[in-house]
A and B are shown apart, each in its own frame.
Chain A
Amino acid sequence: MQNKLKNFFLNNWIGISVGLSLFILIFILPQFFVDNTSILMSIRGLIAGITVAYIIYKFIIFKKENPTFKPSESVLLVDIAGSLIAIVIGLLFGLILMLIVNPGQAFQGFSIIIIGGFNRGFKSFGDMIYFSVPLVLSGLSIAFAFKTGLFNIGATGQLTMGAFTAVFIGVKWGAIGELSPFLHWFVALFGAMIIGALWGAIPGFLKAYRNVNEVVTGIMLNYVAMYLNSLLIISYIYNRDYARALDIKDTAVTPLMNLQYLFPDSTSINGGIVVAVVVVIILHVILNKTTFGYELKAVGYNRDASKYAGMNAKRNIVYAMVISGASAGLAGGLMYLVAGKYLQPVNMLIPEGFTGIAISLLGLNTPFGTLIAGLFYGSLEQGGYYLQLLNFTPEIIDVIIAVIIYASALGLFLQKFVIRTLKKREMLVEQGLIDTEKEKQKNIEGSDK
């Protein structure tokens, strides 16, 4: 995968470097005129400049080495293209909507959305990261399930149960906080993860052993979780005066992990992003580097072949849902282990579980892709927040996201196109009309002598 990513960038170095330069000119430079420490600015500019130079350098080298690379043959490239096209379609739809409703301010509003997390420099960037965390984790939950052939539409329910558990522990188990500063938070988060995992295991079991569609059980359990959450809050941790859950103890609040130094003006940033990145790495390793991941993906790609290979498909399905649920539970925990954020006993599904689907699709159902897509969504959401200054409703962002999901679903047929191109190539190899990699190497070596 690393190889292919390299290929992608290196093949399109012109487009990318132009795009990056524009990006720098439009988004980073103007902030010189907004009050921000010029030192911070120059540091940022320097980093950006070095990155660009490095990428351009790499492009040139790779282009020399691989003159015959064709983008249409890379499944990865086409998938990324599909995601980008879906994003563009969604954004365009939003733009058109804004033009219809308020033509005068439409373009200004649109650029606010696109600039997103950079609207207020590091402050909004920090806020953006904070908002992305539950989305990334929710997206990971769904991405992991997808990779193993399951659609975990029940992520919202797992998230909700995780959130409740975290808050409950945060409110009631203050004694732990006296033992050690971070332990209380850790236990609360851990509890969220476990309960989320258990809630996810239910559709997993039913699918594996009773062949019940996990979409249906997922939806049902979403609602059960929603009602259970309300019920339990009112029964155990209710704050009557404000119609919400009681405050969690300070010791249960997600620690800042010194991130406030990186993002000085942001009021929301916390260490949640560290947890998210750790989970991203763990899931990436599981999926790509372990025998367990090998089995999970095999079961997801071709259940019959996995049986032929002697794998226990049923057990793997349950494991996959457990891990998926754990991630969603973590999302719920991190969402509410924050000072000033309260779980409410209202009968409404928590939307982050569903936006996770968009994040996962955009991120091509891979852990790192989900991370990037989650940050992107966080940026969009920040843009929506700042849109309010212009008389636009922030819901436009949700509209855009919905259109992006729809466009992603359509994009699947792009994959078939790639497969066809690849097949043609293999046919030619078969007939001896194109050299295989090895023969190419031999030729290159041969001609050097």
Chain B
Amino acid sequence: MSFADIIYFILPLVIASAVPLSLVALGGLFSERSGVVNIALEGIMIMGAFVGALTINYLELNTHLPIQLIAIIGLTIGAIIGVLFSLFHAFASINMKANQVISGTALNMFAPAFAIFTARIIFGTQRVPIENSYLMNIPILQDIPIIGDIFFKGAYISTFIGIIIFIIAVIVLYKTKQGLRLRSCGENPQAADSLGINIYKLRYVGVMVSGALAGMGGVIFVLSFSTNFNASVAGFGFLALAVLIFGNWNPKRIIMAALFFGFMRVISSTKAVIPFLNDLHLEDEIYLMLPYIATIIVLAFVSKNSAAPLAAGEPYDSGKR
């Protein structure tokens, strides 16, 4: 394969990986910026993906809606379910001031078990099948030379929707009044409180947004990678956490990190057709491990300069003024 062919081949795959990763990482960012640590991203993705897949499956079999519309509905449902599921984490963390890591772990364990349980009941097996391929060619844009071939032919609508949502979310977080207030809750809640800002409300918003983004990310994952949903998002939720940390809690860096991690993922499975990498004779798993190892190394050296929100993970007690 020539170099150009490789790019044509790899780039769309990388983007397809990077988009859900960044979206979910951004969800984690929203939650942490408001002051709540949310490691339940994996579980929320699974719940969103599961219900989304159920919806898509149902709509495929019982209606004649155009498939891209089905995809959009699935994405929306995934987001809504994500919000609802994340409310449990919000309640435990904000109202009950529980240990946020434990609460997150509980959700992570609940989701796959619940998905398998319910899928078995409905389908008799734990897989939720999806009939259609959601690849599409975007009209007009696909005719642009080079770029059209890479980005707009054989693409997923979920990828584009993901990108749009990402941009909107970043704008909301950094350019609006509520976004400013939300970020203050995670850095210095005492300061925000002394200015009359409602910490509880904004933290709920932060967690719910992370739920929406993770839930939607789950559906994007399913649409992009599989012909079915099998109660797993292959650790994407935790990889998104790594993206968040590696990206030092900054949206631009998150995109870079997501592209890097996505790239690693893609090469691990496609290296056979890339002559240069094939010659290296490195196993798939080495590429898959790299993002995690890289994150640890980064953490070891920059923990002092990390931009993690200062008050994330600590329940806010308004009694202690």
Interface residues of A (CB under 8 A from B): 97, 101, 151, 153, 202, 206, 210-213, 215-217, 219-224, 227-228, 230-231, 234-235, 347-349, 354-355, 357-358, 361, 393, 395-399, 401-403, 405-406, 408-410, 412-413
B110–A403 CB distance below 8 A: yes
A399–B98 CB distance below 8 A: no
A395–B105 CB distance below 8 A: no
A223–B109 CB distance below 8 A: no
List B contacts of A396 (CB < 8 A).
113, 117
Assuming A231-B285, A393-B116, is B105 touching A354 (CB within 8 A)? yes
Assuming A219-B39, A396-B117, is B109 touching A412 (CB within 8 A)? no
A357–B105 CB distance below 8 A: yes
Q: How far is the CA of A49 from the CA of B245 in the complex (A)?
A: 58
Most buried by A among B106, B107, B234, B288: B106
List A contacts of B88 (CB < 8 A).
406
Q: How far is the CA of A371 from the CA of B142 in the complex (A)?
A: 62
- Whether B102 sits at the interface, judged by CB under 8 Å, is yes
Assuming A220-B242, A228-B285, A348-B232, is B304 touching A211 (CB within 8 A)? yes
List A contacts of B117 (CB < 8 A).
97, 393, 395-396, 399
A220–B110 CB distance below 8 A: no
Assuming A212-B303, A354-B108, A413-B96, is B102 touching A408 (CB within 8 A)? yes
B300–A406 CB distance below 8 A: no
List A contacts of B235 (CB < 8 A).
223, 347, 349
Q: How far is the CA of A230 from the CA of B97 in the complex (A)?
A: 39
List A contacts of B107 (CB < 8 A).
402, 406
Contact of B283 among A213, A215, A234 (CB under 8 A): A234
B116–A412 CB distance below 8 A: no
Q: How far is the CA of A153 from the CA of B106 in the complex (A)?
A: 12
A210–B97 CB distance below 8 A: no
Which single residue of chain A is at the shortest CB-CB distance from B299? A212
Residues of B111-160 contacting chain A, CB below 8 A = 112-114, 116-117, 120-121
Assuming A228-B285, A354-B109, A405-B109, is B300 touching A210 (CB within 8 A)? yes
Distance from A429 Cβ to chain B, minimum over Cβ atoms (Å): 26
List B contacts of A406 (CB < 8 A).
88, 92, 103, 106-107, 110
List B contacts of A206 (CB < 8 A).
296, 299-300
Q: How far is the CA of A61 from the CA of B116 in the complex (A)?
A: 52
Q: How far is the CA of A361 from the CA of B102 in the complex (A)?
A: 9
Q: Interface size (B, Cβ < 8 Å)? A: 45
List B contacts of A395 (CB < 8 A).
113-114, 116-117, 120
Q: How far is the CA of A347 from the CA of B285 in the complex (A)?
A: 9
- Whether B278 sits at the interface, judged by CB under 8 Å, is no
Assuming A212-B303, A354-B109, A402-B106, is B292 touching A410 (CB within 8 A)? no
Count of inter-chain pairs, beta carbons less than 8 A: 133
List A contacts of B172 (CB < 8 A).
none
List A contacts of B300 (CB < 8 A).
206, 210, 212
Which single residue of chain A is at the shortest CB-CB distance from B97? A413
Sorted nearest first, the 8 A-B pairs with minimum C-beta distance are A398-B113, A402-B110, A406-B106, A227-B285, A405-B106, A402-B109, A231-B285, A409-B98
The 17 listed contacts between A and B (C-beta, < 8 Å) are A210-B301, A216-B245, A219-B39, A219-B241, A223-B238, A223-B239, A224-B293, A228-B289, A347-B288, A355-B109, A395-B114, A401-B113, A402-B114, A405-B109, A410-B98, A412-B98, A413-B98
A402–B113 CB distance below 8 A: yes
Which single residue of chain A is at the shortest CB-CB distance from B89? A406
List B contacts of A211 (CB < 8 A).
303-304
Residues of B207-250 contacting chain A, CB below 8 A = 232, 234-235, 238-239, 241-242, 245
A220–B292 CB distance below 8 A: yes
- Whether B188 sits at the interface, judged by CB under 8 Å, is no
Which single residue of chain A is at the shortest CB-CB distance from B99? A409
Known: A227-B289, A396-B113. 20 other contacts (CB 8 A): A202-B296, A206-B299, A216-B299, A217-B296, A219-B39, A220-B293, A224-B293, A224-B296, A227-B286, A227-B288, A231-B285, A347-B288, A357-B105, A398-B113, A401-B109, A402-B113, A406-B88, A409-B102, A409-B103, A413-B97
List A contacts of B116 (CB < 8 A).
393, 395
List B contacts of A393 (CB < 8 A).
116-117, 120-121
Which single residue of chain A is at the shortest CB-CB distance from B112? A398
- Whether B101 sits at the interface, judged by CB under 8 Å, is yes
List A contacts of B303 (CB < 8 A).
210-212
B114–A399 CB distance below 8 A: yes
Q: How far is the CA of A395 from the CA of B126 in the complex (A)?
A: 10
Q: How far is the CA of A210 from the CA of B299 in the complex (A)?
A: 8
List B contacts of A97 (CB < 8 A).
117
B39–A215 CB distance below 8 A: yes
- Whether B270 sits at the interface, judged by CB under 8 Å, is no
List B contacts of A412 (CB < 8 A).
96-99
Assuming A230-B285, A348-B232, is B98 touching A398 (CB within 8 A)? no
- Whether B295 sits at the interface, judged by CB under 8 Å, is yes
List A contacts of B114 (CB < 8 A).
395, 399, 402
Which single residue of chain B is at the shortest CB-CB distance from A416? B97
Distance from B141 Cβ to chain A, minimum over Cβ atoms (Å): 35
A410–B39 CB distance below 8 A: no
Which single residue of chain B is at the shortest CB-CB distance from A205? B300
Q: How far is the CA of A212 from the CA of B303 in the complex (A)?
A: 6
List B contacts of A398 (CB < 8 A).
109-110, 112-113
A216–B241 CB distance below 8 A: yes
List A contacts of B234 (CB < 8 A).
347
List A contacts of B121 (CB < 8 A).
101, 393
Distance from A320 Cβ to chain B, minimum over Cβ atoms (Å): 17
Q: How far is the CA of A405 from the CA of B109 in the complex (A)?
A: 9
Which single residue of chain A is at the shortest CB-CB distance from B234? A347
Distance from A400 Cβ to chain B, minimum over Cβ atoms (Å): 9
Q: How far is the CA of A349 from the CA of B116 in the complex (A)?
A: 16
Contact of B102 among A231, A357, A413 (CB under 8 A): A357
A220–B295 CB distance below 8 A: yes
Most buried by B among A213, A222, A355: A213
List A contacts of B113 (CB < 8 A).
395-399, 401-402
A224–B39 CB distance below 8 A: no
Q: How far is the CA of A151 from the CA of B39 in the complex (A)?
A: 13
Which single residue of chain B is at the shortest CB-CB distance from A100? B121
Q: How far is the CA of A352 from the CA of B39 in the complex (A)?
A: 18
Distance from B125 Cβ to chain A, minimum over Cβ atoms (Å): 10
List A contacts of B103 (CB < 8 A).
406, 409
Distance from B84 Cβ to chain A, minimum over Cβ atoms (Å): 15
Which single residue of chain B is at the shortest CB-CB distance from A403? B110
Q: How far is the CA of A97 from the CA of B114 in the complex (A)?
A: 10
